Amino acid sequence: MKNKITFLLAPLRRCVFLSAIALATADALNASAQITSTTLGTVTNLPATVAPATQANTTSYVDLHNNSGLALSWKFNVSAGTSNAVLFVYPSVDKVNYDSVPWQLVRPANGATDQVATTNWSANQLRGYTSLKIGALTNQNGGTLTNKGIVFTRPNP
């Protein structure tokens, strides 16, 4: 009788062992296949154009999420010139007081060819900040800058 019980339990042990392996493998596959959802937004209240060799001040805000990065992309062109166009971004820790020294996103223009200036800040680079203010666009060219917009994306909390 002892041999018979051992014989009946052996397949059951193998089944439990194989089930444990299958569950572990399924969990590993699910963890590696997760996709982080993101929020895509646009920055509003921006000037459509910036005259040659001038700066256009603006006030637009991008809220930041705790422990989250942010990718920002600015698209523009100029009617003439290959000098720099500059986007001024001011960080804040409290959404009230913004840094007096802006972060600058600088991109040389190439005439009427659209240019895209992109940044991708990590969560560590933005740690402690709650908001970014888009404060100005500067056109260092001889031709008019046409602002085609700013979009951003960030992981959802």
- Say which CATH number the domain at 110 has: 2.60.120.260
Asked whether residue 42 falls in the same domain as residue 13, the answer is no
3-state helix, strand, coil in the chain (%, to 5): 20, 45, 30
What is the reported pLDDT for 91? 97
Exposure on the CB side of residue 48, measured as CA atoms within 13 A: 0
Asked whether residue 110 falls in the same domain as residue 145, the answer is yes
The total of structural domains in the chain comes to 2
pTM for the full predicted model = 0.74
Distance separating alpha carbons of residues 91 and 94, to the nearest angstrom? 9
Asked whether residue 76 falls in the same domain as residue 147, the answer is yes
Give me 42's structure tokens: 């646009």
Asked whether residue 97 falls in the same domain as residue 150, the answer is yes
Indicate the pairing of strand 131-139 with strand 115-121: unpaired
The residue ranges of DSSP E strands in 101-144, in sequence order, are: 103-108, 115-121, 131-139
Q: Which residues of the chain have pLDDT under 70?
A: 1-37, 39, 156-157
Asked whether residue 66 falls in the same domain as residue 127, the answer is yes
pLDDT digits (tens, 9 = 90+) for 79-108: 999 999 999 999 999 999 999 999 999 999
Asked whether residue 74 falls in the same domain as residue 142, the answer is yes
Domain that holds residue 95: 38-155
Contact 76, 68 (CB under 8 A): no
Asked whether residue 125 falls in the same domain as residue 86, the answer is yes
